[in-house]
Structure 1
Amino acid sequence: MTDTALPQDPAGPLVLGPMLRYIGETDATVWVETASRAVVTVQADGREWSAATFRVRGHHYALVVVDGLEPGGEWEYAVSIDGTPVWPDERSELPASRIRTIDRQRPTRLLFGSCRTTAPHDREGHRTNGVDALRTLALALARDEQEWPDLVAFLGDQVYADDTPAAMLEFIASRRSLDEPPGKEIKDYDEYAYLYRLAWGDDANRWLLSTLPSCMIFDDHDVRDDWNTSWSWHEEINRIPWWHERLMGALSSYWVYQHIGNLSPGQLAEDEIYTRVLEAAADGPDADELDLTEAVFDLSHRVDRHPDVYRYSYRRDLGDSRLVVVDSRAARVLEPDHRSMLDPAEMRWLDEQLTGDVEHLLIGTSLPFLLPPGLHDLEAIDEVLASRTRGRLLARAAEKARQSIDLEHWAAFNDGFVEVFDMVLSVARGERGTPPASVVFLSGDVHNSYLAEVVDAEECQGARSRIVQAVCSPIRNPMPRGVRIMMSAFARGLVRPMRFVAERSQHVPDPPCSWEVTDGPWFDNCLAQLSVQGRDLSIVWRAGQVPGEDDEHPVLTTIASVRLPARS
């Protein structure tokens, strides 16, 4: 089997997918993109479920709800389009795709990671982009060398709209000049649609995404580097003539390719846009194909102006664990005198989700909540300086630093950081139900992986849960070696001087508790797996390694493994 080539124009009715997205105890959803208007049918367990396509900008999609399943069951499935079998691919040597429903008695195994660029899986692609950890896992699972995970959470930068691969540039050049703004970057919805094909279209990853449920959230590169960093960034980018079309294409394609698959069938029935798909389905198979272009683009326009009109955050219940995935990009409050990672409506929603009475509370946010302490203090200090509390000149320098070296994580939105920290401490003290054994932030973004833990929560706040930050980044986008060395030394060397400055500033409040990096950082391309073991957890980071010169068949290697026993 080889999949080093990037996808060509589809010869049949299936363009992309199938992707197994939502999974529950008795239901699942399967997403596909088709070449034209069609009815998509999923067959499993001797039954069939169908959905008619809807279209956006001339592209056709279906999300098939597979319901009435048994908890903890497992079934091979197939897909047909207008009665023509399209999946599994009869030419493939990969195993059959399966639907596995959640079993509350089975300990959860959750994969997570972020930042995955697209490049061929050959010697040159490995030289420039490293080995794809996702594809390596896919091959290991196909060979039955690993236990099956229950879910993979992609925590941002699924696609890079501002750093496009060679195959994407060929497509762009076929429809406009690369000298025409935005040049080599993505311009509109149609280019995003092709970018997603490149990201998800190679054989092994396509198979993995057809048989392993996935949930997703965007980060900046899904739209553009530094997206919504600050009010100044927002003002500057909106002066660029091509920006609005780019943003509308980004948010609209995100809704189609990523967001709707995050939602349960019940949540889809309440979604203001997807309800139109369900209403159209009630008109029967002979009805005209629903065109959602205007509705989806109108939503994107409204979200840009008023982020609180729509929620991209969501929740998944996994039996022994709860996963709450937070939008830390589109829901920001950027006014200079009131900055928060989450607007009031989003903060209220998160407050409702963060409760106890679950073994482990997992919070997915693309940006690390707990940075290495020195970096946290640096970003908090920079936010204060950029607010002009120390003068206009210093504020300009702080804003320039914020944008040029990405000082825009939770620490740079300190009001929101403290508010969420207080929620987590309330959960950990048992004020919102029986405290979980652990509260774990799962994040990516920073192109290195590490584990951090709050060290004094029990002493200073009465917390009974472990509070942990686990970061896995990148899946495939390695930081240059020289930058790795500099960043590692930079993070360690900042701890004492930044704490000294922060403690003496009247405007930089002390965090509710202190934390430290206990493991890492590691800079390899990797994918992490969190495994529940009763009230204990373990997290392992795995990478791909090419044996000899066999670039087509990388093997998994363990970068690090950490066990987190529950507090007695």
Structure 2
Amino acid sequence: MGGLVLGPLLRHVDETSGCIWVETADTATVTLRARRDAGGEPIEPGDREEHVVQVRTFAVHGHHYALVCVEGLVPGSKYPYTVEVDGEQVWPPADSPYPPSLIATLDPDKPLRLAYGSCRTSVTHDEAGNKAHGVDALHAYALRMAGVTDPAHDDDPDPGSDARWPDLVLFLGDQVYADETTDEMRAFIESRRDIEQPPWAELKDYEEYAHLYKLAWSDPANRWLLSTVPTAMIFDDHDIRDDWNTSLTWKQSMETTSWWHGRVVAGLASYWVHQHLGNMTPAQRAQDEIWREIAAYDGPDEFDASDLLDRFADRADQHPESYRWSFARDFGDQARLVVIDSRAARVLEPQHRSMLDPDEMRWLDEQLTGDVDHLLIGSSLPFLLAPGLHHMEAWSEALADGGWGRRGSKLGEKIRQAGDLEHWAAFQDGFQKVAAMVLEVASGRRGTAPGTVTFLGGDVHHSYVSEAFPSDGSRTTSRIIQAVCSPIRNPMPRRLRFLVAVMAYGVAGPVGHVVARSAKVPDSPLKWNLLKGPWFDNNLATLEVHGRGLRLWWATGKVDGKEHERPRLHRVADLTV
């Protein structure tokens, strides 16, 4: 594709603007040409038929990027586009089997449709890849949207209409795996250094992160999908390392190694470039400290942001309150989407632990309001686990903080790290505060109560839906829902699925409640029940607004015969709220 290395990725899109992210092979001028498809209707006076935007690339550790944003678009319209690098068209490819990539601006009169999921490994779509990692649900979704596969088993009652494409795909963490590398990634690492030395086959620096993102986003079908459907993203632990910021003990242990500082700096710097930059609205980018310096540069050469981003990433790790990764999006009166950083913003000091630091908690408090049909809260970690597992995690925190004395504290830390007990329940201070906020929204004390307050989550490698209620028996106007979709492609081993189902939804229930009380864990302001699940398929979930109600469904990829690279999209589960 000439000078195009990665992308284009369609990122933030609203009613009148859209942004395209690319990586180029060298310093370059990138040109976006977007031409309105009026469907045969005449162009209204004052509307531009074609928009042309040019920007220069910026550099980070020898890689070259551009974010090209076009404004002044017509709401509810489609704009097929091309990308040029130094005057040569590089997208779409001349031999592309897929439809033209386009920017579809939001239509305020169209019901919001949002797809979401988490946890996706990047391996081939052949028999070997599918056997080891299962069928990539995103790949099956892409083929269906492109019209490559037959809609006979599709979940959508209107499968042939591109008007039914999602308005946004929300990736809820583990977009890349920095610590569990594939054979292809390991081969790249071995070509650079000795993997018998720390950090072994895990990622070490920015160059390796850049290659990992290339593997994740460059297979043709998914690349086309990402060029056409807007995306928003938030990290989880594997974007940096398993159990990232589980506890102060965990963090101190990592900081004693020779490689952790380089890893976290490279991870956060590359995350800002590849994921976070495209999350921001135009107004948010204008206030962002890194983007301001990049955008303000007017020198003769390409701006090199390497040192700037490394210093920033180091500070963001050591002083997480200095930068906000969380973000919010409004979709008219239909929905507000609030996406929470549940990893970097943690307070880890014993007795003061919280999922969110005070500034982040204040920000979230401001975002959780009513006066919309639906309040959607995205968190890579489910806010509501199975109730018994929730109690077990709360107990592990209380135990580690001295609930059973000093000896119990050491045992609690071991259990916490060995069992990955570091979800919202294991940060009780933050859980209690957010639960109280949600109850106020659902009761109409923060504006008109929405139809639902819906938590969207991932991480746990199984999917389920729960509904929560006030523990005191009172009633709320809004229904409070937890809807989890995990994984997109990284299935839980079959031998563990039955064990997880029994432990999380069976044994952990009565045991967890008893041990939590023994460690004086405060009572939860919420109680909740399982509505649907669990299921363990690789899948991608879709949510669609229907007035004050929601329709949700989960779809997976199925291979017919030997057509491993052409999986069909099959519905796994659906629910109307």
TM score, norm. by length of structure 1: 0.95
- What residue number does 1:56 align with? 60
Matched, 1:483 2:496: yes
Once the two structures are superposed, the pairs formed by residues 219-298 of structure 1 within 5 Å of their partners are 219-280=236-297, 283=298, 287-298=300-311
Cα offset for 1:391? 2.1
Distance 1:291 1:154 in 2: 28
Matched, 1:357 2:371: yes
Once the two structures are superposed, the pairs formed by residues 482-501 of structure 1 within 5 Å of their partners are 482-491=495-504, 492-501=506-515
Matched, 1:109 2:119: no
Distance 2:312 2:383 in 1: 28
Distance 1:51 1:258 in 2: 19
- What residue number does 2:575 align with? 562
- What residue number does 1:302 align with? 315
- Residue type of the alignment partner of 2:100: A
Cα offset for 1:393? 2.0
- What residue number does 2:127 align with? 123
- What residue number does 1:177 align with? 194
Same amino acid, percent of matched pairs: 55
Matched, 1:190 2:207: yes
Distance 1:506 1:410 in 2: 17
* Structure 2 counterpart SS, 1:186: coil
- What residue number does 1:24 align with? 14
- What residue number does 1:213 align with? 230
Q: Deviations over 1:298-355 (max 9, x none)?
A: 1111111110000000011123111100000000000011000000000000011111
* Structure 2 counterpart SS, 1:382: helix
- What residue number does 2:221 align with? 204
Indicate conservation of the 8 Å contact 1:39/1:52, yes or no.
Answer: yes
- What residue number does 1:464 align with? 477
Distance 1:506 1:80 in 2: 62
Q: Deviations over 1:339-397 (max 9, x none)?
A: 00000000000011111110100000000000000000000011000012322222112
Distance 1:561 1:162 in 2: 33
- What residue number does 2:3 align with? 13
Find the partner of 2:182 among 150, 165, 171. 165
Find the partner of 1:143 among 143, 147, 167. 147
Distance 2:138 2:288 in 1: 30
Which consecutive unaligned segments of at least 5 residues does structure 1 have? 1-10
Distance 2:380 2:27 in 1: 35
Find the partner of 1:392 among 400, 403, 406. 406
Indicate conservation of the 8 Å contact 1:54/1:277, yes or no.
Answer: yes
Matched, 1:74 2:91: no
Once the two structures are superposed, the pairs formed by residues 365-514 of structure 1 within 5 Å of their partners are 365-456=379-470, 460-491=473-504, 492-502=506-516, 504-505=517-518, 507-514=520-527
Indicate conservation of the 8 Å contact 2:51/2:70, yes or no.
Answer: no
Distance 2:107 2:294 in 1: 30
* Structure 1 counterpart SS, 2:409: helix
Cα offset for 1:192? 0.2
* Structure 1 counterpart SS, 2:192: coil
Distance 2:287 2:228 in 1: 26
Indicate conservation of the 8 Å contact 1:443/1:470, yes or no.
Answer: yes
Matched, 1:530 2:543: yes
Find the partner of 2:91 among 82, 87, 90. 87
Distance 1:96 1:506 in 2: 59
Indicate conservation of the 8 Å contact 2:392/2:515, yes or no.
Answer: no
Indicate conservation of the 8 Å contact 1:169/1:184, yes or no.
Answer: yes
Cα offset for 1:555? 0.2
- Residue type of the alignment partner of 1:369: F
Distance 1:18 1:139 in 2: 18
- Residue type of the alignment partner of 1:543: T
Indicate conservation of the 8 Å contact 1:425/1:461, yes or no.
Answer: no
Distance 1:461 1:39 in 2: 60
Q: Which segment is superposed worse, 137-146 or 41-50?
A: 137-146
- Residue type of the alignment partner of 1:512: P
How many residue pairs were aligned? Answer: 548
Q: Which segment is superposed worse, 154-163 or 492-501?
A: 492-501
- What residue number does 2:101 align with? 97
- What residue number does 2:43 align with? none
Cα offset for 1:488? 0.2
Cα offset for 1:163? 0.6
Q: Deviations over 1:70-98 (max 9, x none)?
A: 11111111100111100001111110001
Find the partner of 1:339 among 353, 356, 359. 353
* Structure 2 counterpart SS, 1:460: coil
Distance 1:326 1:431 in 2: 22
Find the partner of 1:322 among 329, 333, 336. 336
Distance 1:425 1:57 in 2: 46
- What residue number does 1:156 align with? 173
Distance 1:180 1:92 in 2: 42
* Structure 2 counterpart SS, 1:273: helix
Indicate conservation of the 8 Å contact 2:469/2:476, yes or no.
Answer: no
Indicate conservation of the 8 Å contact 2:439/2:470, yes or no.
Answer: no
- Residue type of the alignment partner of 2:269: S
* Structure 2 counterpart SS, 1:164: coil
Cα offset for 1:500? 2.9
Distance 1:87 1:287 in 2: 27
Matched, 1:35 2:25: yes
Find the partner of 1:547 among 554, 557, 560. 560
- Residue type of the alignment partner of 1:34: T
Cα offset for 1:467? 0.4
- Residue type of the alignment partner of 1:111: A
Indicate conservation of the 8 Å contact 1:155/1:364, yes or no.
Answer: yes
Which consecutive unaligned segments of at least 5 residues does structure 2 have? 36-49, 152-158
- Residue type of the alignment partner of 2:510: R
Distance 1:384 1:497 in 2: 15
- Residue type of the alignment partner of 2:128: E
* Structure 1 counterpart SS, 2:523: coil
Displacement over 6 Å in runs of 4+: none
Cα offset for 1:455? 3.6
Distance 1:31 1:187 in 2: 24
* Structure 2 counterpart SS, 1:78: strand
- Residue type of the alignment partner of 2:13: I
Cα offset for 1:104? 1.1
- Residue type of the alignment partner of 1:38: A
Q: Deviations over 1:260-284 (max 9, x none)?
A: 000011111110110112212xx3x
Cα offset for 1:501? 3.2
Q: Deviations over 1:399-426 (max 9, x none)?
A: 1111111100000000000000111111
Indicate conservation of the 8 Å contact 2:398/2:519, yes or no.
Answer: no
RMSD (Å), alpha carbons: 1.1
Indicate conservation of the 8 Å contact 2:388/2:510, yes or no.
Answer: yes
